[in-house]
Structure 1
Amino acid sequence: MPANNFNIPGLSKQEVIASRSKNGDNRLTSKKEYALIDAIKNLAKEPMVILLMAAAVIYLISGQSSDAIFLASAVILVAAISLYQDSRSRNALDKLKTYSQPHCKVIRDGQTTEIKSEEIVIGDYLIIEEGTSVTADGSIVHSNDFSVNESILTGESFVVYKDKDSTDHEVFQGTTVASGLAIAVVTAIGNGTKLGKIGKSLEDIKEEKTPLEIQINNFIKKMVVAGAAVFCIVWGINYFNSLDVLDSLLKALTLAMSILPEEIPVAFATFMALGAWRMMQMGVVVKQMKTVETLGSATVICTDKTGTITENKMSLARLYLLASDKIAAPDQDLNDAEKALIRMGMWASEPIPFDPMEVALHHGYAETTFSDERPDYKMVHEYPLGGKPPMMTHIFENKSGIRIIAAKGAPEALIAVSELEAFEKEKITMAVNSLASQGYRVLAVGQSDYTGSQFPDQQQKFKFKFIGMLAFYDPPKQHIEQVLKDFYQAGIAVKIITGDNAATTTAIARQIGFKGYEKSISGDELMKMPEKELQRTVMQMNIFSRMFPDAKLKIINALKSNNEIVAMTGDGVNDGPALKAAHIGIAMGKRGTEIARQAASLILLEDDLAKMVTAIAMGRRIYTNLKKAIQYIISIHIPIILTVFIPLALGWVYPNIFSPIHIIFLELVMGPTCSIIYEHEPIEQNTMLQKPRPFSTTFFSSKELTTSILQGSMITAGTLFIYQFAVEHGYSEGLTRSMVFTCLIAANVLLTLVNRSFYYSLLTTINYKNNLVFLIIMITILISGAILYIKPLTVFFGFQSLSLIQLSLSIGIGFLSVIWYEFVKWKKRLQSVT
């Protein structure tokens, strides 16, 4: 059968170019966005930038123009770093949007072609079928049992049947096909569509903040409030003592700047966007940022069987004829009755097959027939897949009025609508069990001799003759056994939810080493269960057979009620509700319907479940590394705050040990460390050997905060020890400042290395592949050395060059204030072994 049997040539290449030139692309254009200007506006509102500008103005008024110029330059540098990080995140997200953009089928030059939805032009012939989204407005020119859900436009979720002869024969962008197939000539695209005219554009959609983002924003707000309060107190105290407005303002600003952890939101945005980009490069498209932080918490994977566990490469493996009660292989010499069985199975399939079983049936028919009848027949009515268990029926007629009514579906469905004796049902059941136990997918085929002109509203009202069954073999994917082992090792349960029967599913599950293949439950049994029993059953059972949409949704909700974090794979229209209900809905990129992809939060481009192992590992890696970055930020901010505050509050000899120029230098060192080094950190060895972290766990838990506070306090003790040592030895303010600053930089460098893992030792993590660690640490050391030993810089920062002993002491104390945590990690490893 030709790829397009509707005698529609479609547009030529030249006509497509002409139409696009005249009418443009199929895009909904909203108000013009100026990403750079918006980013600059947002940056101008940042508290740190405001404080820096305020300090620069005060220095300028005080006549300290060099300090003012330095701070103004620092503002530009901070802005450049922030804008660079913002552009990296924005570019990553833009590329994600292009990957998740819907595709559609059009007829061009007489061939069916798949293109991106934005490439549609007016005049194109658009093929829309069950499970797809309509990507442009058009007028129907051909249809088979076509219905569409227009709730996005009307607000009413019932389906509307349409054909070229109906009063309403238009289809509209954004609506979804509920059943059948249609070909429509495109009449409007982009903003000219009905959807475009009523303003349903992306600018109206506000993205909700994730739980982690809310936690981080709340933490930042608290720190801003604390910074403002401390600023007022310190300003008041200093002004009361000195009556110098500008000097007291500078001291208060210095402390306020040291309190603000503005690196945290930058790190969060960078980690999430670049993490999603990395996953896309691995073949996993993340549609929603919240999915990135949810991935590491997944406790259950609910997967379908066909195409996920198996290859989805169906081959016709066995035939069963009821008349002869024999199972035959299709590679043997087939008799006329067996060829007729294949022929009827083909007629029960779609005229343009896309399902692998239907492709196999069309192929089998082409190989066993002497004369191809397909061009002579036209489909006059279609009953889409439906019922419990499911079946489908197609009605064809030729020009002579000869009619073919063919049905295929689950054996139970065809048995229910066929006139069979008890002994015949028993034969069929035995044959089904025999075929299914070998892992074959079994389809029953029936034929009706209905001659009436008015077709019944339901296919089950036909009286069918049960002809026989076709068995297909879909082998398990070669690597699926290892994928399951990886899930089990990571503490993630796996459950198979399939429309196939229990025997076939069990046979495949046994072959791949699936845990819990011995027991299964059907959709009908599950639906009859009370809520409490259902909650227990979904935890105990791992194979769910003969499932339909309501049953799938019920399983997902029952697992969620047991506080499980549920990931679910799906590809069909019927998977939509369950995909949307799951914490992580996973659609297949190749065989998934558009509805499934829209409902899902994540798309596997290659339909490979192994990519979910990769995605979960990436999710855990992102979360762990972000936690490391934030713990580092908190740990290093504490000594900065206290080293500024304590000498000031206690009236020590050199109360103004650090000024705004020192604080901004430290900020410039910390920013790249947290958002560049830690973002590039590889996954730790034991990450996928641990159980999923509870999703309810707060990011700033008492345990993590205690660790950060202890680390920060020890570094503070080191810097203040150096301070007192310098004072007791009669060192000048410049020399004291240099030693304290060097101690803090040394502690910062070692903290960066120590906090690469809160379990493995520094000797282990030093071998982690992350070239940026060495690069950024070397830059930090070189710049620090320059401002200590290059005279103009030393004078500008108020430093004094250190002797070898003073330098060694400062670095040594800085190292000691951090290295103690290696003993804590050693104790953890010791406890985990015992």
Structure 2
Amino acid sequence: MSAVINPQELTGLSEQEVSQRLQAEGYNELPASDRRNIWGIIWEIASEPIFLLLLGCGGIYLFLGDAQEALILLGFVLFIVGINLYQEQKTEKSLEALRDLSSPRALVIRDGERKRIAGREVVRGDLIVIAEGDRIPADGILLWSTHLTVDESLLTGESLPVRKVAIDESLPLPINRAGGDDLPYVYSGTLVVQGQAIIEVQATGSKTEMGKIGKALQTIEQEDSKLQRETRQIVKQLTILAIAICIIAVVIYGITRGDWLHGVLAGLALGMAILPNEIPVVLAIFLALGAWRFSLQNVLTRRIPVVETLGSATVLCVDKTGTLTLNQMTVQQLFVYQEGSQNPAFYDLTLHEREALPEDFHRLIEYGILASRKDPFDPMEKALKLVGSQLLAGTEHLHDDWNTLREYPLSGELRAMSCVWEPIAGGAKEIAAKGAPEAIADLCHFSPEMLTDLEIQANIMAASGLRVLGVAKGSLSAHSSRHQPPADGSLPLRQHDFDFEFIGLVGLADPVRASVAPAIAECYQAGIRVVMITGDYPSTAQNIAKQIGLTSGEVITG
């Protein structure tokens, strides 16, 4: 396999090979636990000692001739079984529907032709064409790609997409792991954020990274909750006590009065008075109410004892990305050098939500958008385009009618990308670049003193929990002291062949969900300690912790 491949020459597997591999390896489906049917759920409920107690008590009352008490107890049994059955069956159906919706479709190359199939029909060795917005259906390796970035937060928990490159047979293959830039591996369930690629499937179903996680979860044995164990112990002890008292009462009554029949009846009545017939009903109702409250928050409760488990929690560990935050980037801070002045200008959008953006910052947003794709899928590019539509609408700084001539993607050597645009009215080409501040400084040929000043400002913004991007304006001059443009008038091969002017920095934040701070406060009121787990820098984690009201500034790294 080569790093330079003509996609039109790929033929893929034949239908016969696909059929053979489907028979040998099975469909591309994640391992799923056996779906419990209605009789299995009923048996699980009925086998609980506390419900057997109700049935036994009802039978005894019926034997004693007290039909009213017997019917009440048996009615309680049916009521409890009905509540549990309804809740668990409803959850099973919802989970089944979610499994059907989560199965992606795939565009494969077979017998030299492209065809779209169900994701479950993908086999090892298939060639799959992926593009922006696609959910990757299987683990694979990149044969060909262009500007490909993938959101792997499903596996790594990090919201920022990672850059992918096609394999190069002249280099040894890197370690196969999720996360990290410039790797040739893609994984089932991850989302293509930008670019296009062709992958060769290496693993399907339970052999994928996602499948291994599901398989490991299946090895976990279902355990009884603490409440279930304690109620069983109580029922056992009270039953033994009731039987002992019943026998004693029967013996005493029979010996003292000589009427053994009435002695048996009196002993049974005394034993029934000791047994806690109401406990099963109360427990079932409160747990069912808990499951119902969960459903109001769009949380599925597959097994009702989960309610009790959650209620007994004392420590809550939560991921930051996508859990505490929205997993959506927004522009929060801007930093530029004012025109004709050496004094920097700083602007925090959160402090001026209803104000017009000062003119000094228009060019920074303008070229940040120009350094992005026209129809972006990347969260940061989306954020730039959104803030532009909100703050630059009606100005000359938006150029939706311009055409993209060329894109220079990020690389391992230069963590910046550039776009060359052709204005619709003609004239000089416009070049814009964005990327890591140090990469933009490299393109702009900063002096050591300028680079030090830039690092100070970038660190200040990063300490606020922001992702910092540098933005620059480029030009292609025939009189450049650094570069000689191509003689035929074509565009240069490298970003370094342009002359760049530094414009400023953009700070983007992954906003905290509005409901997080009140939820954290409720946890503390309930005596629950909250721990945030993240792969971000400690300063970013501390900033998020302050925003959500997480007490204790202790940070543990490792």
- Alpha carbons 1:142, 1:164 under 8 Å: kept: no
Aligned residue in 1 for 2:367: 342
Q: Distance in 2 between matches of 1:560 and 1:289?
A: 31
Aligned residue in 1 for 2:85: 87
- Alpha carbons 2:316, 2:531 under 8 Å: kept: no
Of 184, 188, 204, which aligns to 2:218?
204
Structure 1 residues 306 and 151: alpha-carbon distance in aligned structure 2, compared to 1, 3 A threshold = closer
Is 1:240 matched up with 2:258?
A: no
Report the TM-score, using the length of structure 2 for normalisation: 0.52
- Alpha carbons 2:468, 2:505 under 8 Å: kept: yes
Structure 1 residues 418 and 272: alpha-carbon distance in aligned structure 2, compared to 1, 3 A threshold = farther
Aligned residue in 2 for 1:78: 76
- Alpha carbons 2:432, 2:471 under 8 Å: kept: no
- Alpha carbons 1:144, 1:181 under 8 Å: kept: yes
Q: Distance in 2 between matches of 1:370 and 1:237?
A: 93
- Alpha carbons 1:442, 1:470 under 8 Å: kept: yes
- Alpha carbons 2:150, 2:191 under 8 Å: kept: yes
- Alpha carbons 2:130, 2:198 under 8 Å: kept: yes
- Alpha carbons 1:314, 1:357 under 8 Å: kept: yes
- Alpha carbons 1:418, 1:463 under 8 Å: kept: no
Q: Distance in 2 between matches of 1:263 and 1:326?
A: 73
Q: Distance in 1 between matches of 2:38 and 2:94?
A: 19
Is 1:227 matched up with 2:238?
A: yes
Of 469, 474, 478, which aligns to 2:504?
469
Of 280, 294, 319, which aligns to 1:262?
280
Q: Distance in 1 between matches of 2:118 and 2:235?
A: 48
| Equivalent AA in structure 1 for residue 378 of structure 2 | P
Deviation of 1:92 after TM superposition, in Å, equals: 5.9
SS in 1 for 2:416: strand
- Alpha carbons 1:136, 1:172 under 8 Å: kept: yes
Of 177, 180, 188, which aligns to 1:173?
188
| Equivalent AA in structure 2 for residue 467 of structure 1 | F
Q: Distance in 2 between matches of 1:306 and 1:204?
A: 24
SS in 1 for 2:293: helix
Q: Distance in 1 between matches of 2:446 and 2:106?
A: 45
Q: Where does 1:121-520 land on structure 2 (aligned, <5 Å)? A: 122=121, 126-127=130-131, 134-136=136-138, 142=145, 144=147, 163=166, 171-173=186-188, 183=197, 200=214, 204=218, 206=220, 213-214=225-226, 216-241=227-252, 242=254, 243-244=260-261, 246-247=264-265, 250-251=268-269, 253-255=271-273, 257-258=275-276, 261-263=279-281, 265-280=283-298, 292-293=310-311, 314=331, 319-320=336-337, 325=342, 342=367, 346=371, 352-355=377-380, 356-360=382-386, 367-368=397-398, 372-374=402-404, 376-378=405-407, 381-383=410-412, 392-394=415-417, 406-409=433-436, 411=437, 419-421=445-447, 424=450, 443-445=469-471, 467-471=502-506
Deviation of 1:85 after TM superposition, in Å, equals: 1.3
Q: Distance in 2 between matches of 1:143 and 1:314?
A: 27
Aligned residue in 2 for 1:734: none
- Alpha carbons 1:414, 1:444 under 8 Å: kept: yes
Q: Distance in 2 between matches of 1:233 and 1:226?
A: 11
Gaps of 5+ in 2: 1-6, 9-21, 108-116, 123-127, 156-161, 177-183, 255-259, 301-305, 346-355, 422-428, 475-481, 485-495
Q: Distance in 1 between matches of 2:401 and 2:35?
A: 60
- Alpha carbons 2:50, 2:232 under 8 Å: kept: no
Superposed CA offset, 1:643-683 (max 9, x none): xxxxxxxxxxxxxxxxxxxxxxxxxxxxxxxxxxxxxxxxx
Structure 1 residues 233 and 488: alpha-carbon distance in aligned structure 2, compared to 1, 3 A threshold = closer
Deviation of 1:90 after TM superposition, in Å, equals: 1.8
- Alpha carbons 1:172, 1:193 under 8 Å: kept: no
Structure 1 residues 203 and 162: alpha-carbon distance in aligned structure 2, compared to 1, 3 A threshold = same
Aligned residue in 2 for 1:798: none
Aligned residue in 1 for 2:14: none
- Over the matched positions of the two proteins, sequence identity in percent amounts to 13
Deviation of 1:36 after TM superposition, in Å, equals: 2.0
Q: Distance in 2 between matches of 1:248 and 1:190?
A: 68
Q: Distance in 1 between matches of 2:213 and 2:511?
A: 47
Structure 1 residues 300 and 197: alpha-carbon distance in aligned structure 2, compared to 1, 3 A threshold = closer
Q: Distance in 2 between matches of 1:150 and 1:302?
A: 11
- Alpha carbons 1:345, 1:445 under 8 Å: kept: no
SS in 2 for 1:221: helix
| Equivalent AA in structure 1 for residue 435 of structure 2 | K
Superposed CA offset, 1:210-244 (max 9, x none): 9xx42x23431331232133123213302322255
Q: Distance in 2 between matches of 1:120 and 1:183?
A: 17
Superposed CA offset, 1:126-180 (max 9, x none): 5578xx985546775645466898999xxxxxx9976377799885536x58998
Superposed CA RMSD: 7.1
- Alpha carbons 1:450, 1:462 under 8 Å: kept: yes
Deviation of 1:277 after TM superposition, in Å, equals: 0.8
Q: Distance in 2 between matches of 1:183 and 1:273?
A: 44
Report the TM-score, using the length of structure 1 for normalisation: 0.38
Q: Distance in 2 between matches of 1:462 and 1:51?
A: 84
- Alpha carbons 1:49, 1:75 under 8 Å: kept: no
Q: Distance in 2 between matches of 1:204 and 1:30?
A: 8
Superposed CA offset, 1:603-655 (max 9, x none): xxxxxxxxxxxxxxxxxxxxxxxxxxxxxxxxxxxxxxxxxxxxxxxxxxxxx
Aligned residue in 2 for 1:760: none
SS in 2 for 1:280: coil
Superposed CA offset, 1:444-490 (max 9, x none): 23699999xxxxxxxxx99996713145798999x97x997997799
Deviation of 1:188 after TM superposition, in Å, equals: 11
- Alpha carbons 1:445, 1:469 under 8 Å: kept: yes
SS in 2 for 1:258: coil
SS in 2 for 1:444: strand
SS in 1 for 2:417: strand
Q: Distance in 2 between matches of 1:383 and 1:415?
A: 16
Structure 1 residues 264 and 138: alpha-carbon distance in aligned structure 2, compared to 1, 3 A threshold = farther
Deviation of 1:381 after TM superposition, in Å, equals: 4.9
Deviation of 1:182 after TM superposition, in Å, equals: 5.7
Q: Where does 1:547-566 land on structure 2 (aligned, <5 Å)? A: none
Structure 1 residues 165 and 300: alpha-carbon distance in aligned structure 2, compared to 1, 3 A threshold = closer
Q: Distance in 2 between matches of 1:255 and 1:29?
A: 50
Structure 1 residues 467 and 133: alpha-carbon distance in aligned structure 2, compared to 1, 3 A threshold = same
